[in-house]
Structure 1
Amino acid sequence: MLTVAFLPDLLATLATGWTAAGAAELGIHRLHVMGIAAVVGVFLLGLFAQAYRPTQRVASMWGAFAVILVATAGTVWYGVGRPEEVIPFFLLTGIALLTHPAGRRLLRRGDSFSPALLGLVAVAAVPLLAFVGTQLSLTTSAVDPHAVDGHYVMMVALAIAPLAYGVVAALGFAGWRLASWLAALPMVYYGLLSIAFPLQVGSTGAVWGGLAILWAIAFVAVAEYSRRGPSRLFRRDIRRSD
């Protein structure tokens, strides 16, 4: 219950963190806390989307599960952060997955997939996985306050979120359109953070931040354009023999 009670305060930093008051309150943890709020927000969107037509939101279910799995595994494995706040959400998500109305259809792809979206996921995977490696190497420090608080682990989850939602969207799981937007949101937000706070721990600077934003725009644009119909590049119908 305490975890749920503190969520509004955390999610509020998505907006308040940009203000002078937010900067004074968050200090050196500004980018990390706002990034954590972003990954928590996109996880909750994927999970709570199951409350309405869940059989049509399978892609978001898998994306949310992947994000909380990474956050929980990192928190427990490295013994950092607040496992008492992360584990309950992992258990909740696990129950939601096991009892999902889609049943075995959770494992079933749709009738189409997007080669273009898969290509964009592959492009993003290279820098994102390099970022993951860097963050994991930093989280073993016993004197770095960012490591002790589990910030690096949560930044790993932030980097995994676009890949998790992006893969299921590209493969055409039910609800792939919503998943494509959820893949783009954390990239846009992190890109803005990196550009705005280049000296904060966790920032990759204006260039990489700008590229993250461009990738997110391209991903959503391709996803939306692919709705126009079957295409060998944008959305290929797997039922067709050609």
Structure 2
Amino acid sequence: MPSETDTTAPIRRYAFYVAVAVTIALVGVSLGQFLPNAISGWTGSLGDRSIFGLVLMAGSWTALFGMAVQFYRPTERVNAILLLPVVTVLSGVIGFATGTIFAVETLLIAAITLVPLVLHPAGRSVLRFDRVGSPNRLLVGLYAIGAIFMIVYSGQEFVKQFTLTGEDVLRGHYSDLAIWAFSIAVWGGLAVFRRRDWRFAAWMSGFVALYLGVSSAAFPDATSSLGLAGGVSVAAWAVAFVAMTERVRGR
């Protein structure tokens, strides 16, 4: 007779796929009117919030992609499955603490994104940190430069959320930008030090950092912009980090 594990495993896997599909659909509908901002922001139609619109929605597209790739070999996509739940949970909690208008909605989305994580075929190993034995020193050094910068920038945006007033505070733009900047550092670290799913982590970190850098260079006077020099530097780091990670870890 088949064991209980043998009979329940297929059901759990199908439930996982359904949960992933539902999550993508609900999050996509919730963010539907904002997702085009990742492109429309380049026209300047977002005005002073071009940095927020570009980076937040570029990050959202990346998080949705991380959920979508779970349909193919999900046990290997351990970093990809974590992105959307982590970001939405942090955004919801901080939004609730600061009284943003999207706090309750974000918390509900966060609860939805946790379902695929609970049902994930990799089980609890999704959270297990399987460390790389001997990380490349040059890659570690390059990562450290970007990570320190992003953590400092994230801290500055986080402080703005609690100390400033206005529409950007009400909508949680500063805290969301802080979360994505911090995510660049976190997933960059996963790309360098975690054995599994390093490629998604590297490209996610590089892609969002590139968007932050290029948008800052394009809109140097916008709120939360890194300026021309800072934007170019971050964009250059993003390209170099992804390239070096692919060279070192793709061997």
TM over 0.5: yes
Q: Retained in 2: the 8 A contact 1:191–1:213?
A: yes
State the one-letter code of the partner of 1:214: A
Q: For residue 154 of structure 1, what is the amino acid of its counterpart?
A: D
**Percent identity over the alignment?**
27
Match of 1:109 in 2: 130
With over 3 angstroms needed to count, the CA separation of the structure-2 counterparts of 1:28 and 1:59, relative to structure 1, is same
Note the alpha carbon deviations across 1:2-47, whole angstroms, 9 max, x for none: 864352331211112212xxx24x2222221222212212222222
Counterparts of 1:1-242 in structure 2, within 5 Å, are 4-19=28-43, 23-24=44-45, 26-106=46-126, 107-109=128-130, 114-115=135-136, 116-141=138-163, 143-227=165-249, 229=251
In the superposition, relative to structure 1, how do residues 127 and 140 fare at CA in structure 2: closer, same or farther (>3 Å)? Answer: same
Give 3-state SS (helix, strand or coil) of 1:80's partner: coil
Asked if the contact 1:125–1:163 (Cα under 8 Å) also holds between the matched residues in 2, the reply is yes
CA 1:108–1:194: 2 relative to 1, 3 Å = closer
CA RMSD of aligned residues (A): 2.3
Give the match's secondary structure for 1:203: coil
Q: Give the count of matched residue pairs.
A: 225
**Contact kept in structure 2, 1:39 and 1:186, CA below 8 Å:** yes
Native 8 Å contact 1:71 1:156 kept in 2: no
Do the aligned partners of 1:81 and 1:148 also contact (CA within 8 Å) in 2? yes
SS in 1 for 2:120: coil
Q: For each residue in 1:171-193, what CA deviation from the matched residue of structure 2 results, as whole angstroms up to 9, or x when unmatched?
A: 23422112211110000001111
Following TM superposition, by how much is the alpha carbon of 1:98 offset from its aligned partner in structure 2, in angstroms?
1.8
Q: Which runs of 4+ in 1 moved over 4 A?
A: 110-113
Q: For 2:129 and 2:26, how far apart are their aligned partners in 1?
A: 37
Q: Which runs of 5+ in 2 are unaligned?
A: 1-24
Tell me the TM-score normalized by structure 2: 0.80
Q: What is the CA-CA distance between 1:76 and the residue it aligns to?
A: 1.8
Give yes or no for contact 1:117–1:223 (8 Å, CA) kept in 2: yes
CA distance in 1, matches of 2:234, 2:173: 20
Q: Per-residue deviation at 1:127? A: 1.6
CA contact (8 A) 2:213 2:234 kept: yes
SS at match of 2:91: helix
Higher relative contact order (CA 8 A, sep 6+): 1
TM-score, L = length of structure 1: 0.83
How far is 1:110 from its partner?
6.2
